[in-house]
Structure formats: C-alpha cells, structure tokens
Amino acid sequence: MAYVITQSCCSDAACVAVCPVNCIHPTPDEPGFGTSDILHVDPEACIDCGACADACPVNAIFPADRLSPRDRIFIEINADYYRDNPQISSGWSEVVYPELPRLPEGLRVAVVGTGPSGGYALRTLLNRTRAAVTVIDKLPTPGGLVRAGVAPDHPSTKDVMRTFDLLYRDPRVTMATNVEVGDDVAAGQITPAELAEHFDAVFYAVGAAQSRTLGIEGEDLPGSTSATDLVAWYNAVPGADGIEIVADGSGRAVIVGTGNVALDIARILVSPPELLAVTDIADRALELLRRQDVHEVVLLGRRGQDQAAYTSAEYRALSVIPGVQVEGYDDADGPLPDLSGPADPGRRRIVFLFHTTPVRAGGDERVQEVTASTGGREYPIATDLLVRSIGYRAAPIGGLPFDHRAGHFPNDGGRMIDPDGGDAAPLPGVYVLGWAGRGSTGGIGANKLQAIQTVERFIDDAAAERLDRPVSPPEAFDELLRRRRRTVVGYRGIRAIDRRERQKGAQQGRPRVKFTEVSEMLGAAGRRRR
C-alpha cells in the first residue's frame, strides 16, 4: 500500500531526499516546487519503505490504509498530480554530494528571524560550516510564521519547530530573543551597522509582516482589518490588534482574497467553537468566537475559480469541516445568492463569489455592509467584519536598503544590494531570506530551498574572501546586548516559556495555552523588564 502525503505537509522536501526511488514530486529542482501546497507520492512507484514518513518533520505522511476519514481525500490528490503531470517520472537516482570549500577560521554569523527561512539557514550553516551562529528574534518566543501564522487547527505543521529546536541546542548556537533590530537605539534596538561590526555575515529572515490595502471607501471603519493582524490576533502574537464582532449583527464575515491564508481565516471563523477549543488558538480569540458566533463567511475573488490563488488541497480540505457547507458562485454562470440580509443562524456556510471585487464598505460607525461589483452591477453584502487578504509586504528596517514599491529588501540571489549605491553591488556579508527578500510567494518548501542557496552564496563569498571580517572579539556583542537591553532571553528561557505554555494547555486538554503579553513571557523565562 502506497504512502500518501496529507494537508499538513510543509513541503520542505526532507522526504524527497530519503526516497530511494525518487517517487515524491515536485522536487526542489522541478517546476512547481515552492508554489505547490503539498508534495505528492507517486502511488505506482512507491515501494512502501516508509523512509519518507520517518523523515517528515510535521507527521504528514501515512500509509493509504491508515488515513483518517478526513485525510482519505489525499489519496486522490496525490494520484491526480501524476495523472495531470505525465512528464514527471519516478525511479532510482544518483546521490550527489555538495563540494565544501575551505573557509576561514572563526567565522561569526547572525541570523535575524526564527521562522522557517531562518531555521533552514541555521541548519545549512551548521551542516556546511564551522561558524558560530547567533540567532536573534524580536519576540521572546521563536517560530516566526510557524508560531504566528500557521492556523491553530493545523497543529502538525507546527512540528517543524521541533527540528529547529534541536539546532538551537547546538553548542555553536547562541539564542538572543526579545532583541529587536532597527535604528532606534534609544528604544534598545540593535542597528544593522552594529551587527555588521560584530559578525562576518548577517542573514535577515524577517518575513513580510505588513498587509496591502484595498484602497476603497470605508476601509478604515471599525470592523475592517487585515489578514496579517487577524491571524496574529488569533495566534496570540503580543500586541496584535483584536477584532470586534457585534453580537446582534449579520453573523457574516467578508474576506477579500482567495489565497490559502484567506481560506485559513474562513475556516477558523466558521468552525464550531468547540472544535477550536482543543487547539492552541489564543484564549482571547476563542472567547470572542464563542460569544459572537460567525455562521457564514463570504470570500471575494476577482478572478474565476480556475485562476483562484488557493491550492486544490486547501480548497478540498474545506469540504470535511463538520457541519459546514461550501458553495461557489460566479455571476456569469447564474444568479448569486441574496446576501443583503443576516446569515441563516441554523447553518454554517463558506461562500465563494468569483469575478467579484469590493467597491466600498459602509455602516453607522462600523462596517455593516460591503458593496461589491460583479457582472457590471453592484451587489450588497451585509457583514460584521471585513478582512483584506490580498498580499503582504516586508517592514523596512532603518539602516538597510528597502524597495518600497515592491515591498521587500532588494537583493541579487539573496545577497542584499543597495540600488541607490551606484553599481548596486552586493553589500558585503549581508543576506536576505524568504518573503523579506522575494515577496509573499511560496511556502515553507520554497523558503528552505532559498535558504540553502543563499547560505551557499555566503560560503562562496567567505571562501573568496569577499567578507569584511569583524575586528571586535566574540564577547563584544554580548557586552553590547547587556548595555542595550536587560531582558535578553536565551535558550533556557525559551524552554521555560515553552514548558509553562504546555503545562497550561495540559490542564485544559490543549496542546498549549500561549502567552499574549511579552511581560508574561519574560516572567515565565525568569526575566523581568527593568
């Protein structure tokens, strides 16, 4: 019986590397890798060895006959990939080992950000160099978008953090969380110039934390928010703005966009609260969703269903949410449902409206209606919440070049460049990873591939002596942190926070109960802000 890859796949290709018959695709060197939501096992070529399941960091691979009822749909999804891509072939392949050039002794590297890009860069640095690595994050807890972006009802996807935690224990790694990089020294930030002074190379893996705007009337009304803020809020990110859903409203939410993040939000909002109560969703979100139950979510897509941004696996997974109907409409194919009144409280529903764009939002002091355009006419939708999920931008960091138009840090293959610096030559020893460098495209698998390639460029630069070696001793950066901040959290503090969250979760039958305030995290870590 062949193995099957399911929805929680993180696409990091660990399974590809161990498969003896090359039956998992797309591989990192094939089209579609990084944009495909999941990888796929070829059911005709699989020899049932189980190596892929052992290597999977998120427990997403199972024998077909052991799948849960909810995951059996992935038997067809895996097989369909090979029917739709007949040019893909499986079979025995030769192992190719990378060449490791001789590098200078005593290399010191900083990785800013602890999401997937930073984690995979750290792994590659430890595997291919003898560098000492300092890992920096602005929050006390590591994880980046794994902790703050993965939906609460996808717990196995978060298991990738276990592999990164093993790296944090390496004797060559120093963890320095609750440390922010920027140009505000008075606020305790560490500047990029100071990092460059103390390290041979700095990798910025800071993600894309800002959302794009719709540019429509009423977008700034209360009850209108971004996917970035909403996801951060229900994932317990400290300082994330909450939402307010009126108790006597329409019982409906409108999401602009049809990407995977939009589908995640729709699923969280419309799922019965008792199903979310066994996840690590933030208590603040669970309490609100229990009190002000959303029964219907409408997603607006400006293109047709064939051009929607979500992946087929993510869309099909909506059909197995208990008690939730999924419906799709296109004005070109027939009449649209009347959504001008309240949602039916007797059913839960996700409604896709294709070839539909928002025109304006309106209401008395808060969002009560969204007017959309479809088929050349205006179409009113009563709603209590408007969420824009139309793309993300990196946040600028003072002291680093930034492409404000594109919304990411300018780079050439991961080497950061200054486009205003004349010939736009790479900045020595400065690299950028993930969404911060390429924009908000691709998932965990694409981040892994880019992280490996960027570290390889660093290795080339180090071997060719293109780096500016620091003249300060290794302990000088620790002294800088002590002068600048008195609440730096190391690995022991990170583990203490993790234990406390898991202990609180165990008392409620949940994986963990996350802290939502930095002060609570610092208290759990044994540190106090002075």
In this predicted structure, what is the pLDDT of residue 421? Answer: 63
Q: Report the alpha-carbon distance of residue 445 to residue 311 in Å, rounded.
A: 15
Q: Is residue 478 part of a domain?
A: yes
Is the confidence at residue 502, as pLDDT, over 90? yes
In this predicted structure, what is the pLDDT of residue 288? Answer: 87
Q: What is the CATH number of the domain that holds 269?
A: 3.50.50.60
367 and 283 part of one domain: yes
199-232 per-residue burial string, b: 16 or more CB within 10 A, e: under 16: bbbbbbbbbbbbbbebebebbebebbbbbbbbbb
196 and 216 part of one domain: no
Q: Report the alpha-carbon distance of residue 365 to residue 360 in Å, rounded.
A: 14
Is the confidence at residue 508, as pLDDT, over 80? yes
66 and 152 part of one domain: no
In this predicted structure, what is the pLDDT of residue 160? Answer: 82
Q: Report the alpha-carbon distance of residue 12 to residue 21 in Å, rounded.
A: 18
400 and 339 part of one domain: no
- Which tens digit of pLDDT belongs to each residue from 196-226? 999 999 999 999 888 889 999 999 999 999 9
Q: Is residue 407 part of a domain?
A: yes
409 and 368 part of one domain: no
3-state secondary structure (DSSP) of residue 350: strand
Is the confidence at residue 156, as pLDDT, over 90? no
> Judging by beta carbons within 10 Å of its beta carbon (0-12, 13-18, 19+), is residue 330 exposed, middle or buried?
middle
Domain that holds residue 382: 212-388
In this predicted structure, what is the pLDDT of residue 97? Answer: 67
In this predicted structure, what is the pLDDT of residue 530? Answer: 42
Q: How many other CB atoms sit within 10 Å of the CB of residue 399?
A: 15
**H or E segment to which residue 61 belongs:** strand 61-63
Q: Report the alpha-carbon distance of residue 82 to residue 61 in Å, rounded.
A: 17
**84, 128, 126, 72: which is closest to 103 by C-alpha?**
128
Residue showing tokens 């979500």: 310
234 and 312 part of one domain: yes
Q: How much is the average pLDDT of 286-302?
A: 90
- Which tens digit of pLDDT belongs to each residue from 70-112? 888 899 999 999 999 999 988 876 666 667 788 999 999 999 9
**256, 145, 136, 261: which is closest to 209 by C-alpha?**
145
Q: Are strands 252-256 and 296-301 parallel, antiparallel or unpaired?
A: parallel
Q: Is residue 89 part of a domain?
A: no
Q: What is the CATH number of the domain that holds 60?
A: 3.30.70.20
369 and 251 part of one domain: yes
Q: Is residue 260 part of a domain?
A: yes
As a whole-number percent, the residues of the chain with pLDDT over 90 amount to 68
405 and 444 part of one domain: yes
Q: Report the alpha-carbon distance of residue 262 to residue 270 in Å, rounded.
A: 12
In this predicted structure, what is the pLDDT of residue 163? Answer: 87
Last residue of one domain, picked from the residues 347, 373, 388 = 388
Mean pLDDT over all residues of the chain?
90
As a whole-number percent, the residues of the chain with pLDDT over 70 amount to 97
- Which tens digit of pLDDT belongs to each residue from 365-410? 899 999 999 988 999 999 999 999 998 899 999 999 999 999 999 9
Q: Report the alpha-carbon distance of residue 373 to residue 28 in Å, rounded.
A: 40
CA distances from 16 to 5, 115, 447 (A): 12, 22, 16
**468, 498, 450, 444: which is closest to 12 by C-alpha?**
444
In this predicted structure, what is the pLDDT of residue 181? Answer: 96
> Judging by beta carbons within 10 Å of its beta carbon (0-12, 13-18, 19+), is residue 91 exposed, middle or buried?
exposed
202 and 158 part of one domain: yes
230 and 369 part of one domain: yes
Task: Select the more confidently predicted residue: 297 or 334.
Answer: 297
In this predicted structure, what is the pLDDT of residue 528? Answer: 54
- Which tens digit of pLDDT belongs to each residue from 112-132? 999 999 999 999 999 999 999
Number of domains in the chain: 3
Q: How much is the average pLDDT of 417-431?
A: 84
In this predicted structure, what is the pLDDT of residue 237? Answer: 94
